[in-house]
Amino acid sequence: MPRCPKGSRKNKNGECIKHNRTFSKKNSSQPKLTEEDVNKLIRDFNVSDSEKDKIKDRLFRLKYRKTFKNDFYKLNAKKNKELNKMYDNDSFKKKEHLLYEQAEAKLAALNKGYIELNEI
Instruction: Dump pLDDT digits (tens) for 50-82.
Output: 888 999 999 999 999 888 888 888 888 888 889
- Structural domain harbouring 101: 29-119
**What's the CA gap between 108 and 8, in Å, rounded?**
49
Of the candidates 51, 55, 49, 48, the one whose C-alpha atom is nearest the C-alpha of residue 104 is: 55
Number of domains in the chain: 1
Residue 39 within a domain: yes
Whether the full predicted model's pTM is greater than 0.95, yes or no, is no
In whole angstroms, give the CA distance from residue 18 to residue 111: 51
Residue 23 falls inside a structural domain = no
Backbone torsions φ then ψ of 56, nearest 5 degrees = -60, -45
Residue 15 within any structural domain of the chain: no
For residue 19, is it within any domain?
A: no
Residue 98: burial class (beta carbons within 10 Å; 0-12, 13-18, 19+): buried
Instruction: Give 20 or 32, the one with higher predicted confidence.
Output: 32
* Within a domain: 61: yes
Report yes or no on 44 lying in a domain: yes
Residue 94 domain flag: yes
